[in-house]
């Protein structure tokens, strides 16, 4: 638990003090009201004795009482309502918050450095108010009235008669059956008569005369003359009179139920001193009985009957009460209590309390203890049989005995007031109130046994509770604290008696005792046990204290602390304590932040955001929601959408508070600043025939270091030629496109009236789309004029008349979920000067209806566009690019320094000449596709019809699919081995003979260059030659050697004229499954490897072909209907004919084995495709000759409908003259799916 102002040895005696009633006449009450105080409140600051007092115990031993305090309150005849007490406790907690600027404790536990509040004053205020507001009960006497002060004024016409009336009234309240409340300790209550005299207005001689008469009638120890002043305070004087009532009344006016003028029902509590009392002073003067004020009719904690009868603080009541209490606090802020009293009056009141305690209260208590002790001694002297008879006689109308289970269910017996067991309990309580803990423990222990024997569980629990506390408070600690007593009492109160108030008192006391003994684990377990759904406020406070127990252990349990603080924050929120809920979540966030618990962190930030928004801490709310969005969230799309909508809603409210303020930073989308590219000049227009800058550079090209180096060298060569072979020292290569690879250490040059294009790389980390509207660049410009003066202009958008910098605005920019996308934004400089591109500005929103979320409802926006925008907010993001790390000097190498990156800071220069050209290819026409090969030829076009125009527009891609077949044997035989077969697929209106010029000429020239390449020498060994022949046969299974010739026409615009260019591309397809290109592909340089030394080995040609080569010997394909219908209700088995085609791709004989026994065992495959059976022969052995095609008829059997994969046969092959068998590669091909339907 957290540290407390009071130790447990101070807390418990202050929580259980002698209670004294006050019954005042109207005139006496009027006199005290002149100081804005009731009589009971008048005494409150002076109710603690300033010196030790002594009394004799039953053994005539002197007993010392230290710091004794008494509680004086007006008589009330109605018990407080539970709902009103809950409301009071809720107000007490809400009114106590951490002090501003309070320095928190720093606790270091492992990797955690936590700032934790050392004290929890809201818990202490709750605990003290709770203990003081407990209603009196019949099973204990700790808060029963021991005495009654009868107060009248010396200005009364007949003061002695008034005393008589007050005495009779007190007797009637105590002994009349019409009043069950308040509770009185013993029938013979001490009556103490007080004559109140106004020194400034009354007749002092008359007051003394009346006092003498009082002493004659009531004795010198039974009455007192209290003199006070009712003078009007003199504000002009320099006398400073202290106000000891402020700490009880003004400071805690949040607890005041109503002002004195409306009805002085005041509830006060002081959480900063040891004199905390609950004043329950009902002073209703409207109804009178026998001329006496009926100030005991209604309890000040009585709820307004016209209000809500639910007595719940978890609904809107707490909000209403907070506002009303705030108004009460404002109304009472200017009231000064006790302003008419002097310092002498303070001393008189203090002396009055001393006299009452010394001469009246303590002698009365001492006498009562002796009488009860004599009864106890006489009881012990009787025999058991006689005692039983006496007990039966004393018990009177006690209920008959019941079974143990019945007793536990009904909370046990109910004793009459005169029962012997209750007399022991009275003596124990009296001893406890005067700090005689040894005797109190003995009496509680004795009473406990009697109550348990009678199965009076409520009484037994009370005796166990106070016996445990008495044992702990005994001086010298003769016995250890019996925690099991408290555990039994708590269980009995909670489970058997169903009294959570008494169970809570036990927990509060026991937890403080355990904490004082550094038993934090036991204290935490005890606090957690009492959390329940019946009271969110109590559960929140106990969970918070349990969290403090975990963090205060010898080995702090940080994660348990954080977890229970989260639970406490949740319960605080349910109880309407928003500030305390926010504080708990913020303290727990210290543990969860940055530890990888993203879901927990999201929950905490989301709750902090909502609570902060409720408390109008809008900046904190925005910050919390921002943290959710900038982390890599693992939430679902719907939850991310809820977070985003909450953020937009809160942010919109923040921006409305300061509409003219600077644009704040938005968290989304992510911007990769280093990937920002800047292009200077006009866009390329390759197909529209207009003039354009004569440059190859554009933003559509990827960076190519080799190409860039070639252009740089070419530019250097041109400049050197112009400068007579010398390259100027100040020469820098022209950079049209700046990126992360270019040299950005210098300010780039941009030309007036030529656009500056900035490519910004966005990334949406969320699973919901983001819509950016009115997207543009944010910039700062310093223009220069002829006089050399500079003026700074910062603009966001172009407005009104043409300005120095024009800004392009993108109306809509949609980024889909988890998408990376670039936006190209333009500026148009119209004046020379220095331009600084700062960032981007936009409206952030999301598409309405793109997600189902449970967040705050969307507000209608004013946006109209292609997408429906649910809500948007205006903000900015800065482009901050870090330059390259410096590594030249020794200082730079030994430290981390970065150079400048000035790609976003161009200098706008005056207009310069621009070399332009006018050319562009508008479209390509594919006229014809031809083939040339010794063994293959194109047969037809698959995806495009022949004799139709095949066009490719600018930057368009096309896909053409053709079917090729082998040349016929006779056709090949008639031709020599040096001749090729040409075939044409025509897309135009006329055929170009590909076997003639120019196609054949180009083909044969390229073929001759291939033949000139050095060929491998043939082997001289017969055995080696045989192996190579075998390898060659197998390799030819995948070889095609098919030459594709694409004939095209290009429509080009040049010098405002349209030209038609014709051309051809040749592509050689050598192997099935490998891509072929019409131009050589750029090869990536191999990675550098360490130099290795090894002993050379004999390099021999592999004697066996590879697995990949052998797997292509046989090609297979299945032929079957895509779907098959069968009447399963007539025939349970469905048979489907399937044809398996086997093709020998080699020119050698091949032995083939077809195995149908293989079944799919993969659970994933079985889940998707059902299981079936092949009928008939399960294995086939075949011999296929060179390039033979064989058909195998199979039957598949199905027993129910579904989708099945027929591609289960395993095919193995080997060359006839080889031994090793290899499985064909068709097993990894696409599944052969068939659908079986029921007719």
Specify the range with the lowest mean pLDDT, choosing from 123-132, 447-456, 543-552, 648-657.
648-657
Q: For residues 759-774, give the mean pLDDT.
A: 90
Question: How confident is the prediction for the chain on average, in pLDDT?
Answer: 78
Is the pTM higher than 0.85? The answer reads: no
Strand order through the sheet with 1173-1175: 1114-1119, 1134-1144, 1189-1198, 1173-1175
Judged against a pLDDT cut of 60, whether residue 46 lies above it is answered with: yes
Q: For residues 1063-1091, give the mean pLDDT.
A: 72
**Higher-scoring residue by pLDDT: 773, 338:** 773
Residue 509, pLDDT score = 95
Instruction: For residue 711, count CB atoms less than 10 angstroms from its CB and return exposed for 0-12, middle for 13-18, buried for 19 or more.
Output: middle
Residue 459, pLDDT score = 94
Q: Kindly indicate the confidence band of residue 332, based on its pLDDT and cuts at 50, 70 and 90.
A: low
**Higher-scoring residue by pLDDT: 309, 1042:** 1042
* Nearest in space to 10 (alpha carbons), one of 274, 385, 187, 370: 274
Specify whether the CB–CB gap between 393 and 418 falls below 8 A. Answer: no
Residue 384, pLDDT score = 37
Judged against a pLDDT cut of 90, whether residue 809 lies above it is answered with: yes
Specify whether the CB–CB gap between 116 and 551 falls below 8 A. Answer: yes
| Structural Rg of the chain based on CA atoms | 50
Length of the chain in terms of residues written = 1239
Residue 595, pLDDT score = 76
Residue 252, pLDDT score = 39
Q: Kindly indicate the confidence band of residue 1106, based on its pLDDT and cuts at 50, 70 and 90.
A: low
pLDDT digits (tens, 9 = 90+) for 638-689: 887 877 888 778 777 777 777 777 888 888 899 999 999 999 888 766 545 5
Judged against a pLDDT cut of 70, whether residue 311 lies above it is answered with: no
**Higher-scoring residue by pLDDT: 184, 281:** 184
Strand order through the sheet with 1123-1126: 1123-1126, 1233-1238, 1202-1205
Specify whether the CB–CB gap between 260 and 249 falls below 8 A. Answer: no
3-state secondary structure 627-692: HHHHCCCCCCHHHHHHHHHHHHHHHHHHHHHCCCCCCCECCCCEECHHHCEEEECCCCCCCCCCCE
Judged against a pLDDT cut of 70, whether residue 637 lies above it is answered with: yes
Q: Kindly indicate the confidence band of residue 349, based on its pLDDT and cuts at 50, 70 and 90.
A: very high
Residue 260, pLDDT score = 33
Q: For residues 1042-1064, give the mean pLDDT.
A: 83
Judged against a pLDDT cut of 50, whether residue 294 lies above it is answered with: no
pLDDT digits (tens, 9 = 90+) for 131-167: 988 888 989 999 999 999 999 999 888 999 999 999 9
Instruction: For residue 609, count CB atoms less than 10 angstroms from its CB and return exposed for 0-12, middle for 13-18, buried for 19 or more.
Output: buried
Judged against a pLDDT cut of 50, whether residue 438 lies above it is answered with: yes
Residue 697, pLDDT score = 76
Query: Angle, nearest 10°, between helix axes 500-516 and 121-132?
Result: 130
628-637, 753-762, 1007-1016 — most confident range:
753-762
* Nearest in space to 937 (alpha carbons), one of 1041, 850, 814: 1041
Instruction: For residue 480, count CB atoms less than 10 angstroms from its CB and return exposed for 0-12, middle for 13-18, buried for 19 or more.
Output: exposed
Q: Kindly indicate the confidence band of residue 385, based on its pLDDT and cuts at 50, 70 and 90.
A: very low
What torsion do the CA atoms of 41, 43, 45, 51 make, to the nearest 10 degrees?
Answer: -160
- Could you tell me what percent of the chain has a pLDDT over 70? 75
Residue 489, pLDDT score = 95
First-last CA distance in the chain: 76
Q: For residues 741-749, give the mean pLDDT.
A: 87
Residue 589, pLDDT score = 85
**Higher-scoring residue by pLDDT: 845, 616:** 845
User: Count of CB atoms within 10 A of residue 950's CB?
Assistant: 19
Q: Kindly indicate the confidence band of residue 1165, based on its pLDDT and cuts at 50, 70 and 90.
A: low
User: Count of CB atoms within 10 A of residue 94's CB?
Assistant: 23
Q: For residues 333-343, give the mean pLDDT.
A: 75
The sign of the CA dihedral 826, 827, 830, 833 is: negative
Q: For residues 1019-1036, give the mean pLDDT.
A: 59
Angle at 1128 between CA 1127 and CA 1133, to 5 degrees: 110
Cα 479–chain centre separation: 49
Residue 1161, pLDDT score = 55
Q: Kindly indicate the confidence band of residue 1160, based on its pLDDT and cuts at 50, 70 and 90.
A: low
pLDDT digits (tens, 9 = 90+) for 1204-1232: 988 888 888 887 777 666 666 544 456 78
Specify whether the CB–CB gap between 23 and 145 falls below 8 A. Answer: no
15-29, 575-589, 1221-1235 — most confident range:
15-29
The conformation of residue 110, written as its DSSP 8-state character, comes to T
pLDDT digits (tens, 9 = 90+) for 190-235: 999 999 998 888 788 999 999 999 999 999 999 999 999 877 655 4
Specify whether the CB–CB gap between 491 and 510 falls below 8 A. Answer: no
* Nearest in space to 875 (alpha carbons), one of 837, 827, 840, 838: 840
């Amino acid at each position: 638990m957290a540290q407390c102002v009071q130790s447990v040895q101070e807390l418990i005696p202050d929580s259980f003090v002698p209670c004294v009633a006050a019954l005042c006449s109207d005139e006496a009450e009027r006199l005290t009201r002149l100081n804005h105080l009731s009589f009971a409140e008048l005494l409150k600051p002076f109710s603690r004795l300033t010196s030790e007092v002594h009394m004799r115990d039953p053994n005539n031993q002197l007993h010392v009482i230290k710091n004794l305090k008494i509680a004086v309150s007006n008589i009330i005849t109605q018990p407080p309502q539970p709902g009103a007490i809950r409301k009071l406790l809720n107000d007490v907690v809400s009114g106590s918050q951490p002090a501003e600027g309070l320095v928190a404790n720093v606790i270091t536990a492992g990797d955690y450095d936590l700032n934790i509040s050392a004290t929890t004053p809201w818990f202490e205020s709750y605990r003290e108010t709770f203990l003081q507001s407990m209603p009196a009960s019949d099973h204990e006497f700790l808060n029963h009235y021991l005495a009654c002060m009868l107060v009248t004024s010396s200005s009364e016409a007949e003061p002695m008669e008034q005393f008589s009336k007050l005495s009779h009234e007190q007797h009637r309240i105590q002994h009349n059956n019409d009043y069950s409340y308040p509770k009185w300790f013993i029938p013979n209550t001490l009556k103490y008569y007080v004559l109140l005299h106004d020194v400034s207005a009354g007749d002092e001689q008359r007051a003394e005369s009346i006092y003498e008469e009082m002493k004659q009638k009531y004795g010198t120890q039974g009455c007192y003359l209290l003199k006070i002043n009712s003078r009007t305070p003199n504000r002009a004087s320099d006398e400073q009179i202290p106000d000891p009532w402020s700490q009880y009344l003004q400071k805690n006016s949040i607890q005041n139920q109503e002002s004195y003028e409306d009805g002085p029902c005041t509830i006060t509590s002081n959480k900063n001193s040891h004199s905390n009392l609950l004043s329950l002073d009902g002073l209703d003067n409207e109804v009178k009985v026998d001329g006496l004020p009926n100030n005991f009719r209604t309890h000040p904690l009585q709820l307004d009957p016209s209000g809500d009868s639910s007595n719940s603080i978890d609904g809107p009541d707490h909000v209403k009460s907070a506002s009303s209490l705030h108004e009460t606090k404002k109304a009472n802020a200017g009231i000064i209590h006790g302003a008419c009293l002097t310092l002498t009056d303070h001393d008189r009141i203090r002396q009055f309390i001393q006299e009452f305690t010394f001469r009246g209260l303590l002698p009365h208590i001492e006498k009562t203890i002796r009488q009860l002790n004599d009864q106890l001694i006489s009881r012990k002297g009787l025999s058991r049989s006689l005692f039983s008879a006496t007990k039966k006689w004393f018990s009177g109308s006690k209920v008959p005995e019941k079974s143990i289970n019945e007793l536990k269910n009904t909370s046990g017996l109910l004793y009459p007031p005169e029962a012997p067991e209750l007399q022991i309990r009275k003596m124990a309580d009296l001893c406890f109130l005067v700090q005689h803990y040894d005797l109190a423990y003995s009496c509680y222990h004795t009473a406990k046994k009697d109550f348990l024997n009678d199965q009076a569980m409520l009484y037994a629990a009370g005796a166990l509770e106070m016996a445990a506390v008495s044992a702990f408070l005994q001086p010298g600690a003769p016995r250890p604290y019996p925690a099991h007593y408290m555990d039994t009492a708590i269980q009995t109160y909670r489970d058997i008696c169903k009294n959570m108030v008494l169970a809570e008192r036990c927990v509060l006391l026991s937890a403080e005792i355990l904490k004082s003994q550094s038993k934090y684990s036991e204290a935490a377990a005890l606090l957690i046990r009492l959390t329940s759904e019946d009271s969110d406020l109590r559960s929140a406070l106990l969970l918070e204290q349990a969290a403090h127990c975990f963090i205060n252990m010898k080995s702090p349990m940080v994660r348990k602390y954080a977890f229970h603080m989260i639970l406490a924050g949740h319960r605080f929120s349910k109880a309407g304590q928003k500030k305390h809920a926010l504080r708990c979540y913020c303290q727990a966030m210290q543990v969860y932040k940055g530890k990888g618990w993203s879901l927990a962190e999201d929950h905490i930030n989301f709750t902090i955001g909502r609570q902060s928004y409720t408390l109008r801490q809008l900046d904190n709310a925005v910050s919390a929601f921002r943290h959710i969005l900038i982390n890599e969230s693992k939430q679902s799309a719907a939850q991310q959408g809820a977070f985003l909508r909450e953020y937009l809603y809160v942010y919109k409210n923040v921006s409305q508070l300061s509409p003219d303020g600077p644009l704040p930073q938005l968290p989304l989308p992510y911007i990769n600043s280093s990937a920002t590219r800047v292009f200077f000049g006009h866009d390329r227009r390759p197909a529209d025939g207009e003039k354009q800058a004569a440059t190859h550079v554009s933003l559509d090209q990827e960076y190519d270091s080799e190409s860039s180096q070639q252009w740089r060298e070419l530019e250097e060569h041109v400049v050197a030629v112009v400068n007579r072979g010398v390259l100027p020292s100040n020469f820098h290569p022209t950079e049209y496109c700046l990126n992360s690879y270019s040299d950005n250490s210098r300010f780039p040059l941009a030309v007036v009236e030529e656009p500056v294009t900035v490519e910004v790389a966005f990334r949406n980390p969320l699973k919901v789309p983001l819509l950016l509207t009115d997207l543009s660049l944010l910039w700062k410009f310093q223009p220069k004029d002829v006089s050399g003066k500079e003026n700074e202009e910062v603009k966001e958008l172009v407005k009104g008349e043409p300005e120095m910098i024009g800004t392009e605005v993108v109306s809509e920019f949609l980024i889909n979920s988890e998408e990376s996308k670039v936006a190209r934004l333009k500026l148009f400089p119209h004046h020379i000067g220095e331009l600084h591109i700062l960032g981007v500005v936009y409206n952030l929103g999301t598409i309405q209806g793109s997600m189902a979320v449970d967040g705050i409802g969307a507000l209608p926006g004013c946006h109209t566009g292609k997408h429906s925008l649910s809500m948007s907010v205006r903000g900015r993001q800065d482009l901050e690019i870090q330059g390259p790390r410096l590594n030249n000097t020794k200082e730079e190498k030994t430290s981390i320094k970065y150079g400048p990156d000035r790609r976003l800071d161009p200098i706008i220069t005056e207009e310069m000449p621009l070399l332009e050209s006018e050319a562009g290819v508008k479209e390509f026409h594919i006229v014809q596709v031809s083939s040339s090969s010794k063994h293959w030829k194109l047969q037809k076009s698959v995806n495009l019809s022949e004799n139709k125009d095949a066009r490719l527009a600018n930057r368009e891609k096309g896909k053409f699919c053709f079917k090729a077949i082998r040349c016929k044997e006779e056709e090949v035989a008639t031709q020599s081995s040096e001749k090729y077969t040409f075939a044409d697929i025509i897309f135009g209106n006329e055929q170009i003979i590909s076997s003639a010029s120019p196609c054949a000429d180009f083909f044969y020239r390229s073929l001759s260059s291939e033949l000139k390449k050095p060929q491998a020498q043939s082997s001289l060994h017969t055995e080696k030659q045989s192996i190579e022949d075998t390898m060659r046969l197998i390799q030819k299974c995948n070889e095609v050697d098919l030459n594709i010739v694409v004939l095209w026409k290009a429509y080009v615009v040049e010098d405002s004229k349209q030209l038609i260019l014709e051309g051809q591309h040749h592509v050689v397809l050598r192997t099935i499954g490998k891509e072929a290109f019409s131009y050589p592909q750029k090869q990536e340089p191999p990675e550098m490897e360490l130099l290795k030394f090894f002993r050379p080995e004999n390099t021999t040609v592999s004697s066996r072909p590879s697995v990949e080569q052998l797997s292509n010997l046989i090609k297979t394909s299945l032929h079957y209907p895509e779907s098959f219908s069968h009447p399963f209700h007539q025939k349970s088995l469905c048979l489907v004919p399937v044809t398996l085609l086997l093709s020998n791709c080699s020119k050698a004989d091949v032995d083939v084995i077809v195995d149908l026994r293989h079944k799919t065992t993969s659970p994933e495959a079985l889940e998707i495709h059902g299981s079936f059976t092949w009928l008939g022969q399960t294995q086939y052995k075949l011999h296929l000759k060179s390039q033979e095609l064989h058909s195998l008829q199979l039957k598949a059997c199905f027993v129910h409908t579904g989708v099945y994969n027929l591609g289960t046969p395993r095919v193995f092959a080997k060359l006839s003259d080889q031994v090793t068998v290899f499985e064909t590669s068709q097993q990894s091909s696409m599944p052969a799916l068939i659908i079986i339907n029921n007719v």
